[in-house]
Amino acid sequence: VFPVFPALAADSVPVPKIGVVNLEKLFEQYERTRGFKAKIQELSRTKQEERERIVSEIKEMREEMVLLNEEGRRQRQGAYEEKMKHLAAFDRQAKESLRREEEGALKVIQDEIEQTVTSFAKDHGFTLILVDRAVLYGVEAMDVTKEVLALLNERHQEGKR
């Protein structure tokens, strides 16, 4: 009996080497993620301080307007309304700025994790690496999260030098 597809003969089929990674753990414990989180928190804090300054100015204007007669209030009303519009615009801009910053950071981190997993798989002869959420059962020895995380953080440190 001759095999129909000689290339698929049992002795030529490579034995698959399969690994599993916990993407959530990689993401959370990656040093770059921690750095980006700190950067975003600082940016958020700065935006919040700026917002509080604008709100304080609005409150001050409102308090001054209460003390004015009707003519004085009418004259100040335009400036007050402009300040309120400025606050609304600032809120929109700040939210959008933070969203863009987070999206950019997530994209960079996601790309680096994918590149590192791919590189790790090739260097260690894996034919397939799965995300742990897609695996119903697997032996613990298949989990290469620690090894990939170590490589990821090592590459990050090398990039900082």
Instruction: State which H helix or E strand residue 57 sits in.
Output: helix 31-67
Query: What is the percent of the chain where pLDDT is above 90?
Result: 68
Mean pLDDT of 15-43: 93
Sign of the CA dihedral running 53, 55, 60, 64? positive
Residue 3 has pLDDT above 50, yes or no: no
Identify whether the C-beta of residue 146 lies closer than 8 Å to the C-beta of residue 35.
no
Dist CA 55 CA 83 (whole Å): 9
pLDDT at 13: 62
Mean pLDDT of 79-93: 95
CA distance from start to end of the chain: 61
Average pLDDT of the chain to the nearest whole number = 89
pLDDT in tens, 119-134: 999 999 999 999 999 8
pTM of the model: 0.72
pLDDT at 4: 45
